[in-house]
């Protein structure tokens, strides 16, 4: 699988989560420091249930639901990585690594593929330093930390100390047939310390198809 196809799937799920206990609220703020991995728990067996709403042509489709689950760590090219599986039929499995400079996607494995495809270079979900104004890019997408210490409420609960990240840019690749060669993407992601991705909302425009859609993910529940 190509890097662009892995990237658009990772943007849809936008979460790859690292090794710390699942905490929430004030306990998380008191017990955890400000490193990237705080916002990406990867405990084996942890899961996240999301509601996904797609709006296009001014109308919202019926919501769909996705469970993301962390599997047991595996060693890939000498590095411990966590497979994160989307449990819907045909769901993708993402390989995520925690490194000193952040949390990153290193590869992925579609349900119909026997072996994972590894990226030549990692794509970072969150990169150090964790501070307002910090930016990093991958495949034409610029990620910017817009705020820290944000309070966010979703169906799973109210969360304090959240990280707000803006993403904006253009992805080139073939996603919806031969005409859809470009996606213009802009949106936001919110991560709660010790929990991970709790909300994502963004606009995707396909200029070669004169098509635009808004996709929102909200955390419904999480646990282990």
Residues 26-62 pLDDT 10s: 333 333 333 788 999 889 999 999 999 999 888 899 9
**The pLDDT of residue 178:** 53
Residues 155-170 pLDDT 10s: 999 999 999 999 999 8
Domains and CATH numbers, the chain: 3-223 (2.40.360)
What's this model's pTM, rounded to 2 decimal places?
Answer: 0.81
**Angle, CA 89 vertex, CA 182 and CA 92 arms, to 5°:** 50
Residues 59-75 pLDDT 10s: 899 999 999 999 999 99
Q: pLDDT band for position 23 (50/70/90)?
A: very low
- For 27, phi then psi, to 5°, come to -60, -40
Helix intervals (H) in the chain? 3-13, 25-31
């Amino acid at each position: 699988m190509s890097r662009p196809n892995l990237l658009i799937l990772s943007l849809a799920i936008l979460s790859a989560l690292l090794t710390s206990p699942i905490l929430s609220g004030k306990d998380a703020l008191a017990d955890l420091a400000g490193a990237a991995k705080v916002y990406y728990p990867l405990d084996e067996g942890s899961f996240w249930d999301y509601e996904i709403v797609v709006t296009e042509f001014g109308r919202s489709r019926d919501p769909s639901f996705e469970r993301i689950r962390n599997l047991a760590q595996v060693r890939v090219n000498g590095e411990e990585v966590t497979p994160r599986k989307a449990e819907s039929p045909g769901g993708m499995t993402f390989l995520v690594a925690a490194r000193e400079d952040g949390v990153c996607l290193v590869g992925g494995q579609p349900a119909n593929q026997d072996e994972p495809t590894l990226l030549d270079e990692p794509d970072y979900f969150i990169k150090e330093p964790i501070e307002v104004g910090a930016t990093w890019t991958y495949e034409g997408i610029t990620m910017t930390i817009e705020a820290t210490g944000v309070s966010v409420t979703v169906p799973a609960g109210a969360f304090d100390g959240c990280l707000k990240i803006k993403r904006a840019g253009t992805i080139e690749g073939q996603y919806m047939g031969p005409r859809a060669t470009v996606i213009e993407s802009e949106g936001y992601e919110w991560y709660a310390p010790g929990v991970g991705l709790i909300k994502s909302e963004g606009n995707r425009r396909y200029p070669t198809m004169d098509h635009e859609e808004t996709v929102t993910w909200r955390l419904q529940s999480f646990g282990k």
